[in-house]
Structure 1
Amino acid sequence: MESLHEPFMNRGSISPTGNGTTDHLEKMKLTKASPDSVSDKIERYRGALLVISIPVLVIMLVVYAMPGKSAHDATVLKEIELLSRKVGVSYRGDRQYAVIFDAGSSGSRVHVYCFDRNLDLVPIGSELEIFEQIKPGLSSYANDPQAAADSLISLLEKAESAVPVDLRSKTPVRVGATAGLRALEGNAADRILQAVRDLLKDRSTLKSDANGVRILDGSQEGSYAWVTINYLLGNLGGTYKDTVGIVDLGGGSVQMAYAISKDAASKAPSAPDGEDNYVNQMYLKGSKYYLYIHSYLNYGLLAARAEILKASDESGNPCILEGFDGSYAYNGKEYKASAPSSGTNMEECRRVILKALKINDTCTYMKCTFGGIWNGGGGDGQKNLFVASFFFDRAAQAGFIKAADHVAIVKPHAFADAAKRACGTNYADTKVTFPDLGEGDLAYICMDLVYQYTLLIDGFGLDPYQDITLVRQVKYGNSYVEAAWPLGSAIEAVSS
């Protein structure tokens, strides 16, 4: 078959005078020597273009003519859009921007991304991603929704300045609130979200809608994080065995997500009442994935502190550093935080953490993680595990990886080794021993490290000496991009 990238030869006919061959060769030389005009190329390839574009347009018309669009229809439309991009039938500009706010329990962050027509990331100036963050998070303004919304103004201004003026009205902006807002009582979360919607409507020139400001459920957060890391690694488009699993430890919740086989997905149990489905289907770069996801609310690092303090008796908590006597505030509540008279003890700390994790809850499946939750069955999609967010941060602050690194391969037992050192430190000496820790984290460094080790080993069932990849940023081209769920949300936003 002749390539569309090579000019077709004008074969002509041989003149009966005998000069036709020479004339024909001269015409061929002329054809090769003279560049085609745009109109000539269109004329030459019009048949091929019609063959390619007509089926795509027909399919699009058929799907849009259907009386109602199901989730499957939406997926088909996305696949058609990607196909149309590949064959050059594009109805978008060459650049698309997306602005995603991550309203987490420990702070608010904004990410700005730019994509080309193939959904590849392209630089914004000299950066592949614009990123800015502030503290505290929206949940800290539970009683003042307007103050919560106003806290985002500086981030919004930063994001808008990164988007070309003529594209701002076409650039989707989303605000995804995570575990911090999920845990607020009454209608506090709804009032904050409405104040944020009003802020975007009144002060932003970006493309916003009410549904774009919401609390993400755990499965959404986990699936976006999984998409982000596998997208950046270039793993999408193959089989589930080509992908990596993720554990994302936020402030209020922790998510595990990894791809499983179609057979395993067909045998997945139903989730407990009120919980998200264990398995979601996703269509990415022409491949269908069955994604096991579970989000554990109240088991993010900051929320887990409260659970661990609640699980200890009134004589003190063995996870708190000796010499500290105070309280811990989380989501508007305070918990007594002091070491027992016997001092800090790592083994006793582990015992309290196992109780907080509800390791011994009844498991009605073949295998559970903790709290009676199905573990997904394991398999190839979980063998290569990327572990993000607070896992990376504490490892760097504890000194067993470099803070400047983007990724680091460690073994879970490294958290136990660091915990032994931390739990043997007096509170008064902590700032010297762990100089990179924030003031509010000093008393909890033993607790945090023991919790992270216990979560990985007893909670998720990892081998203490298997390799895991701690990840903060993933290399993409010549740049590094934050390994966080907002990129997955941005990909969905510009594909909608």
Structure 2
Amino acid sequence: MERAREVIPKSQYQETPVYLGATAGMRLLRIENEGLADNVLTAVTESLSKYSFNFQGARVISGREEGAYGWITINYLLGKFIKKSRWLNLMTNESDSQETYGALDLGGASTQITFVPQNQTVESPRNALYFRLYGKNYNVYTHSFLCYGKDQALLQKLAKDIQETDKILRDPCFNHGYNRVMNISNLQDSPCTKKYKKTLQFHQLQIQGTGNFQQCQQSIFQLFNTSNCPYSHCSFDRIFLPPLQGHFGAFSAYYYVMKFLNLTSEEPYSQEKVIDTVKEFCSRPWEELKRNFSKIHEKYLSEYCFSGTYIISLLQRAYHITPDFWKNIHFMGKIQNSDVGWTLGYMLNLTNKIPAEQPLSAPLSYSTYVFLMVLFSLILVAVVITSLFVFHQPSYFWKDAV
């Protein structure tokens, strides 16, 4: 807010709306303690109301909204909602607007997938969203997997793994030589780990890293129950998922983890390259990582092996992304210097900045404009040729003419 006060002129404070949307962390808190969640929103509202801006309120947005706003952000920044001609950027009335990108969002507590499926068919009503933007209808599929953000997924994996171990867990998702002590209560207090909760004879867990990608991935795969699908296609936990099509922008933790691993070039890396890179990182000794990445907090550094493996596993097992389709996944941090995330889509929706109908088109259609430009060019060429012919005649021509 202090930054906003610096860049926005004082005369526009009252005209500047401020919105606050809370996501999966608050959704989990509401499940665990609704009263505490309400108190947090009340405190935030009181704090933001003290500023001179036009505060519009704070609320917890749903997972469906979070997925939809991320999809809007990507396609708005990529210019997918408006088709422009290549001549003077004239608006056209062409019905074949550009194919939209899908959106893959990975946070700490949840993950979302949102895209327009082939034939715009969504079998499950709870996964269907309808938008009319710039005069075009979009039937969008979206789902938010609460508890499958990278942080909560790690807690789930640890809570699952301690069911068959004593107080020492040799974990392949942490680098060899890594040691960490966790309180069991930190694992069992999350709403996401309740299905693994049981009475244990110890109160602390010692994690010893062994650094093995294949074993780590097999452990992560157990988080996804892919049996008993009631639809034509499913993700996991009996959730409908249409076949993926088109290109996808993967952002938030998808991007930050891949950026750390140097896997975010403009041209997408192959699935094999990504797997080999994560596999090599997981195999590196912990002491070596600490020396090479001394400026990174040890907690975050220690979890990159799990996070990289989890991203690969999520895309492969939950979303059924094949090696051939992997080239359609683009890890995005910014588009045209704007951050990629759900927040821009949230603001665009609340402020009605995206019209339902196509803005007025230019006076001339693209085809008419091209025809007139060609006609004008031909007339211009004819005039030039005529002028050259007339003014380069011999002098006797002019005398005879007189």
In the superposition, the TM-score normalised over structure 1's length comes to: 0.59
Distance 1:257 1:223 in 2: 7
Distance 1:197 1:418 in 2: 44
Alignment counterpart, residue 344 of structure 2, candidates 482, 487, 494: 487
Q: 1:494 to 1:263 in 2, by over 3 A?
A: closer
Q: 1:399 aligned to 2:262? A: yes
Q: What's the secondary structure of 2:121's corresponding residue?
A: helix
| Offset at residue 371 of structure 1 (A) | 1.9
List aligned pairs for 1:297-316, cutoff 5 A. 297-313=146-162, 314=165, 315-316=169-170
Cα displacement string for residues 58-101 of structure 1 (whole angstroms, at most 9, x for unaligned residues): xxxxxxxxxxxxxxxxxxxxxxxxxxxxxxxxxxxxxxxxxxxx
Distance 1:366 1:327 in 2: 44
List aligned pairs for 1:274-423, cutoff 5 A. 277-313=126-162, 314=165, 315-327=169-181, 336=205, 338-339=207-208, 343-358=210-225, 360-378=226-244, 382-401=245-264, 407=266, 409-423=268-282
Distance 1:335 1:240 in 2: 57
Cα pair 1:415 1:452 within 8 Å, conserved: no
Can you give the 5+ residue segments of structure 2 that lack an aligned partner in the other structure?
A: 83-94, 191-202, 354-402
- Residue 248 of structure 1 corresponds to 105
- Residue 206 of structure 1 corresponds to 53
Cα pair 2:174 2:305 within 8 Å, conserved: yes
Distance 2:115 2:52 in 1: 37
Cα pair 1:280 1:291 within 8 Å, conserved: yes
Q: 1:432 to 1:200 in 2, by over 3 A?
A: same
Q: 1:473 aligned to 2:330? A: no
Which amino acid in the other structure matches residue 321 of structure 2? L
Cα pair 2:120 2:139 within 8 Å, conserved: no
Which amino acid in the other structure matches residue 124 of structure 2? P
| Offset at residue 413 of structure 1 (A) | 3.5
In the superposition, the TM-score normalised over structure 2's length comes to: 0.72
Q: 1:269 aligned to 2:92? A: no
| Offset at residue 337 of structure 1 (A) | 5.7
- The size of the alignment, in residue pairs, is 316
Distance 1:394 1:337 in 2: 25
Alignment counterpart, residue 22 of structure 2, candidates 165, 177, 191: 177
Distance 1:195 1:171 in 2: 21
Q: What's the secondary structure of 1:495's corresponding residue?
A: coil
Cα pair 1:240 1:259 within 8 Å, conserved: no
| Offset at residue 332 of structure 1 (A) | 6.5
Cα pair 1:302 1:330 within 8 Å, conserved: no
| Offset at residue 262 of structure 1 (A) | 5.9
Which amino acid in the other structure matches residue 135 of structure 2? G
Distance 2:223 2:120 in 1: 34
Comparing 411-420 and 440-449, the one that deviates more = 411-420
RMSD between aligned residues = 2.5
Alignment counterpart, residue 194 of structure 1, candidates 42, 50, 60: 42
Alignment counterpart, residue 166 of structure 1, candidates 5, 11, 17: 11
Q: What's the secondary structure of 1:366's corresponding residue?
A: coil
Q: What's the secondary structure of 1:363's corresponding residue?
A: coil
Distance 1:160 1:408 in 2: 39
Cα pair 1:412 1:457 within 8 Å, conserved: no
Cα displacement string for residues 236-265 of structure 1 (whole angstroms, at most 9, x for unaligned residues): 146576101110111111110001356514
Cα displacement string for residues 355-383 of structure 1 (whole angstroms, at most 9, x for unaligned residues): 1233x3421111111222111343xxx32
Identical aligned pairs, as a percentage?
A: 26
Cα displacement string for residues 3-55 of structure 1 (whole angstroms, at most 9, x for unaligned residues): xxxxxxxxxxxxxxxxxxxxxxxxxxxxxxxxxxxxxxxxxxxxxxxxxxxxx
Q: 1:200 to 1:169 in 2, by over 3 A?
A: same
Q: 1:492 to 1:218 in 2, by over 3 A?
A: same
Alignment counterpart, residue 2 of structure 2, candidates 152, 157, 161: 157
Cα pair 1:252 1:300 within 8 Å, conserved: yes
Q: 1:332 to 1:198 in 2, by over 3 A?
A: farther
Cα displacement string for residues 454-484 of structure 1 (whole angstroms, at most 9, x for unaligned residues): 1111111111243121100012xxxx11111
Which amino acid in the other structure matches residue 261 of structure 2? A
- Residue 427 of structure 1 corresponds to 286
Distance 2:63 2:112 in 1: 7
Q: What's the secondary structure of 2:171's corresponding residue?
A: coil
Distance 1:235 1:399 in 2: 28
Q: 1:171 to 1:256 in 2, by over 3 A?
A: same
Which of 1 and 2 has higher RCO (CA within 8 Å, sep 6+)?
2
